[in-house]
A and B are shown apart, each in its own frame.
Chain A
Amino acid sequence: MQQLDNNAALRNFSALVDFSNLINSTLDLNFSLNNILLTCFGKFHTTKGMIALLNDEKYFEVKVSKGISNNIISKFPKITIHNYETSGELSSYIEENNFPIVQDIKSSEGLKGILILGQRLTGKDYEEEDINFLKTILNVGSTAIENSIMVEKLKRVNRDLDAKVNQLSSLFDLSKEFSGILQIEMVSKMLVYSLIGQMLVSKYAVISCAANTLHFLDNRFDENHLRNSLKQCESNQFTKPLTRNELIDKYKPFAEVGVDLIVPMQIKGETKGLILLGKRKNELQYTKSDIEFVSSVGSLAIISIENARLFKETLEKQRLEKDLETARNIQNNLLPKSIPKLSNFEIAAFNKSARMVGGDYYDIVKLEENKVLFAIADVSGKGVPAALLMANIQAFLKSICKMKMQLAEATGLMNDLVAENTTMGSFITFFWGIIDNAKKELTYVNAGHNPPLHIRNYNITKLKKGGMILGVMETMIPYISETVRLESGDAIILFTDGITEAMNDKWEEFSDERLETLALQKYEESAQNILAHIKFNVEDFTHGAEQSDDITSLVIKVK
């Protein structure tokens, strides 16, 4: 009897040594679990068994099973480390399926899982001795299981780390690439490739928002749908990343197009663009770390995109400035280069544009011996459009001069030409006159221009006769002209509203009164001097304030 017991103990012992050697030779969890089950099967002559381990959430999860149908496995109760002894679900599951053995698998760290075994083929019950042997196996096995679990965890952590490192190196790559590119299309292309490679998506869109307009830099969604969806939702309301559930809840149109993630691209907290991504091909949701990656790449890209945009803008501005400079030169050439000399008259003129090109115009043309035509005009508006219109006026004036018409009639023709050639809302205040040197006469027509001042004996007469401003409509009522006899010592001062409306830093205008007072004080001086006084006084008045309108003045003095 003693001999028999000894033999049995010896067999148990050698089985145990074998098992221990085997199970500690590997770090493969499935291999360990399989071996524990198989060792039990061999030792106890049973054909059914399973091992459930606690997962990270502390739920039991069947890791390996043998001889048990999938149906039964799938019914394994959802129990946790906290309630597996108390809930009764486990015991009823075991009773239902006739599993006589449930053993805890414990390591030094605590409970790891449970082992369940079926009936023995021999029909015998499990003896106390068997249970003890089983416990020993599990004691040895639990350490191996724990090690394997640790290794699996480490592998997972390692892989996560690898993924992070890869994302970082991707970011590093891109930041290098982005910084050297000033083409928006290239930046968006690189951005897209990195995103779809890293996230495994094939549907995407990159949109930049500048000055409230959206630019689709790249898009693989249905563009019309997307535009409509964006119209419904202002782009500046996207201030943080939106994932699938938020999109379904609040931005349904996007979810319907297939957008699974929206990440804003921001500069200093202001949304300058959006990255839209579709579902990932591996069916996974975007994790926090994925969104962080998209966000970082997006921030890098938008800075490059913004730089590229600013660079382009600067280039365009430079080109425009160059154009304006050319225009300015052309315009300067339009103004008379020299002033005709007359025996009985002195003429002086001055013009200064508020911008590079302006809308003020004056001209002095010698018509025939003893006759000189002069004109002053102010085109509505400023800058390039006004300058273009002004160039037109100059051309009209030069051709009309050659036609030798009466001034009043010529003014009517001038108005028709301007009305025909301007768009709605543009108009010109215009004054012109012809000086007869021999007769000392002035014939003029005033088409809505600030009336020039005629000063004689400290008395001002305003030259108002004429008609409507030019360019509003075709000539219906003929313009009328007036002829004024001039005497020695008379002065005529022509000006544009840039002078009377010149503003100082207290928002006060130079005003007609100031000009008239000045005219009375200085009209006895030479034409050149009168003009110099006007210039000086206006500049003195506006000192420090920016010139807001073109300034032009013409002074005629009768010798």
Chain B
Amino acid sequence: MAEFNVNLRGVGSVSVIDVKGYLDAHTAPELENIFNKLLDERQFKVVVNFDELKYISSAGLGVFMAYVETMRENKGDIKFSNMKENVYNIFDLLGFPILYEFYKEEKEAVYKFGDQR
């Protein structure tokens, strides 16, 4: 069974989600739980750190589509950072780069939220 781990931490007013392992249809609900938790806590500024993510399927991408609008409606966003090339390629293939911001480093992504204040 493919492993997937998700961890939530705060960096200032920004919530950083670390995803690790394989994010697919099977493991997507775990990530979904984290997003639901963020909505409950009214945390809308989110950076997803992909540093340790090995694989993502389109169902995994779907989770981001499901929540990005709510985040943006509440003056937040979902930004991506530290993505490996093979993972980025899937995002790119499905046209995500025109809709989402991608950063090399988590710091930059977090910093960008600072700009919007």
Residues of A within 8 A of B (CB): 159, 162-163, 166-167, 169-170, 173-174, 177, 186, 189-190, 192-198, 200-202, 281-282, 284
Contact = CB atoms under 8 A, between A and B. Distances in A.
Contacts of B95: 200, 282, 284
Contacts of A200: 65, 94-96, 99
A194 B58 contact: yes
Interface of B is mostly: helix
The 3 A-B pairs with the shortest beta carbon distances in the complex, nearest first, are A193-B62, A197-B62, A197-B61
B93 A159 contact: yes
Given A192-B62, A194-B62, 4 more contacts: A186-B29, A193-B28, A201-B65, A202-B68
B63 interface: yes
Nearest to A194: B59
B25, B28, B29, B63 — most chain A CB neighbours (10 Å)? B25
A172 to B, nearest CB: 10
A284 B99 CA distance: 13
A201 B95 CA distance: 11
Interface of A is mostly: helix
A168 to B, nearest CB: 11
Nearest to B66: A196
Contacts of A198: 58, 61-62, 94
Contacts of A197: 57-65, 94
Contacts of A163: 93-94
Given A190-B25, A197-B65, A282-B99, A173 B59 contact: yes
A189 B60 CA distance: 12
Interface in B43-72: 57-66, 68-69
B24 interface: yes
Interface of B: 24-26, 28-29, 32, 57-66, 68-69, 89-90, 93-96, 98-99
A193 B69 contact: no
Nearest to A193: B62
13 contacts: A162-B89, A173-B59, A174-B25, A177-B25, A189-B28, A193-B59, A193-B62, A194-B59, A197-B60, A197-B64, A200-B95, A200-B96, A282-B99
A200 B65 CA distance: 7
A159 B90 CA distance: 11
A174 B26 CA distance: 9
B58, B65, B66 — most chain A CB neighbours (10 Å)? B58
Contact of A169 (B57, B69, B99): B57
B71 to A, nearest CB: 11
Contacts of A169: 57
Contacts of A196: 62, 65-66
Contacts of B66: 192-193, 196, 202
Contacts of A189: 28-29, 32
Contact of B69 (A162, A166, A167, A202): A202
A190 B28 contact: yes
Contacts of B68: 202
B93 A173 contact: no
Given A169-B57, A202-B69, A282-B99, A193 B63 contact: yes
